Amino acid sequence: MAKIVGFGDVRRVLASKFLELLVGKLPAGLRGADLLVETSFGELLRVIESDLELPHLIPPNRRRKVIEHVLLYLHRQDILTLNHGMTVMRWAMTIEVKKEDKRKTFLKEDYLRLDEHYREKLIQVHVMREYAEVALKEMAEALRLVLNYFTDSKQAFIKRHFNGREDVLKLATSEESWKSIIESLSTTQNVGYDASRTDPDVVRVR
């Protein structure tokens, strides 16, 4: 309970600072509803880094998740509205082509960072779905899941909440949906599927 209260305090402080930043972007004297302002993860991250206490309370590897959580919290409380609603927040991707690289083909190793990026997105989607399912049964347990997500390491969180179901995190759909797809295939079809492959979402039918 102490940890939940502690994170709630951090959330309130950060929410206040985010609102101060956003309101400060409005032209002086402007009043009205549904006023549009723009910001970036970089700006919001600097709000944390420029504070005297927040950098010590929020580890660097957790700051992006905390920023997302606070923005969604403000959205759900109708304090602000995220443009296009509950949009998927993501870092901008910068692609640089080195002039000295004359290759016309690329190896699997060249795509490892991109693969990791999409794997992390899949995990986030499954975590949100897990939260929704747990919240329908027990809200206190759902709150613990959120707390663990922001405080545990990735490995510890997966072991705690997806123990024995790690393969689910590799799917681009829910476990139930995946099973329904597999079970609907004809028994005469030869399906090649290996969860250990780098492309576990691909079903090959011959």
DSSP string of 125-149, one letter each residue: HHHHHHHHHHHHH-HHHHHHHHHHH
Domain boundaries in the chain?
A: 6-92, 97-186+195-200
Q: For 58-117, what is each residue's pLDDT tens digit?
A: 888 888 888 888 888 888 887 887 765 444 455 556 667 677 666 666 777 777 777 788
Q: For 92-104, what is each residue's pLDDT tens digit?
A: 566 676 776 666 6
Q: What is the DSSP string of 9-62?
A: HHHHHHHHHHHHHHHTTSPTT---SS------HHHHHHHHHTSSSHHHHS-GGG
pLDDT at res. 84:
52
Q: Which of 185, 181, 179 is nearest to 167 (CA)?
A: 179
Question: How far is residue 198's CA from residue 205's CA, in Å, rounded to a whole number?
Answer: 18
Structure token pair of residue 21: 């930043």
Which amino acid would we find at residue 106?
A: F
Question: Coil, strand, or helix at residue 91?
Answer: coil
CA distances from 136 to 37, 44, 70 (A): 35, 32, 22
Structure token pair of residue 147: 């707390």
Task: Produce one character per residue of 125-136: b if its CB has 16 or more CB atoms within 10 Å, e if not.
Answer: ebbeebbeebee
The pLDDT mean for the chain works out to 76
Q: Which residues contact 151 (CB under 8 A, 6 or more apart)?
A: 3, 7, 62
pLDDT at res. 91:
52
Task: Pick out the chain residues at pLDDT < 50.
Answer: 1-5, 85-88, 188-191, 193-198, 200-206
> Token match 């206040």: residue?
16
pLDDT at res. 100:
65
